[in-house]
Homo-oligomer: A and B are copies of this chain.
Amino acid sequence: MGNAELTKPNQSWAPVRANSVANQIVMQVREALFNGKFQPGDLLGSEKDLAAQFDVSRITVRDALRTLETMGIIEIRVGAGGGARIAEGNLDYFSDALAVQFKLAGVTEREILDLQVAIEGTGAELAALNRSRENLEELSELLGEAENVMDSSADFTDAGQQFHLAIIEASGNRALIAQFRALRYVVWPQNAQRATREIAENAQKIHHQLYAYIEAQDSEAARKLMIDHLVSIRAVAFSGTAADDATGVICC
């Protein structure tokens, strides 16, 4: 039977902190947002206003605003006409939270790469199905730009990253875009600057092939090639010497 709940009887220290006045304010604002009572850009008010509105001290309001800000729900501006506003959507906070959780959970690079395969594989698939003419033009342009920086490891890596991002954007799925951006933020520092000239040429060739599949709307081929592309990155990343594996590619 399911005795899983007996294994970890934690989470008993919640009551006092969960019912704090500051958290009650946080919950109220959050509920209002999800109930459609707020839209991005709407003004919540200044700390002074909110303190009067909720009949609490300014410091309590600050606690609540700090939490809401970190959640990405509000943005705070100082000066006249400033105050707390409903955010437009700030992916930085989310990316940071993702990175933190992966760190705390001890998620390995390999696990992250498998997640990346899931995201980018589906992204390539949907890109092939949904790409617009503008998407194709941007992808083509990025391919051209990468061609000019094949000898600069850092520049080519950056161009490759942009190409991958453009593919995800071509999928038209903002959830995937958000995930990819967050993921790139997490894995970027480790995987940077690994491209040699030979590796760059191989990557560029694969990128051209990806473009061809996406243009032809061959979603299954696009997905498979993207996954192979990423798996070969994994091979390079975990097999030690990168130069040995000529088929293995990249950094982007």
Contact = CB atoms under 8 A, between A and B. Distances in A.
Interface of A: 1-2, 13, 16-17, 22, 30, 33-34, 40, 59, 62-63, 66-67, 69-73, 76-78, 86-91, 93-94, 96-107, 111-112, 114-115, 117-119, 121-123, 126, 141-142, 145, 171, 173-176, 178-179
7 contacts: A16-B78, A102-B174, A107-B178, A111-B175, A114-B175, A118-B121, A179-B179
Give the top 10 A-B pairs by smallest Cβ distance, nearest first: A118-B122, A70-B70, A89-B104, A66-B66, A115-B175, A89-B105, A111-B175, A118-B118, A111-B173, A97-B97
Contacts of A30: 96, 100
A89, A102, A118 — most chain B CB neighbours (10 Å): A118
Contacts of A91: 101
B117 A78 contact: no
Nearest to A76: B17
A174 B106 contact: yes
B175 A103 contact: no
A22 B67 CA distance: 13
A143 B101 CA distance: 30
Given A86-B104, A89-B101, 5 more contacts: A63-B66, A71-B93, A107-B175, A112-B175, A115-B175
Q: How many copies does the complex hold?
A: 2
A111 B13 contact: no
Contact of A97 (B2, B94, B103, B142): B94
Contacts of A90: 101, 104
A63 B145 CA distance: 44
A98 B118 CA distance: 18
Nearest to A96: B71
Contacts of A101: 72, 89-91, 93-94, 178
Interface centre among A71, A121, A126 (most CB of B within 10 A): A71
* Chain B CB within 10 A, most for which of A17, A67, A87, A100: A100
A103 B74 CA distance: 13
A176 B118 contact: yes
A154 B66 CA distance: 37
A145 B1 CA distance: 8
Contacts of A111: 173-176
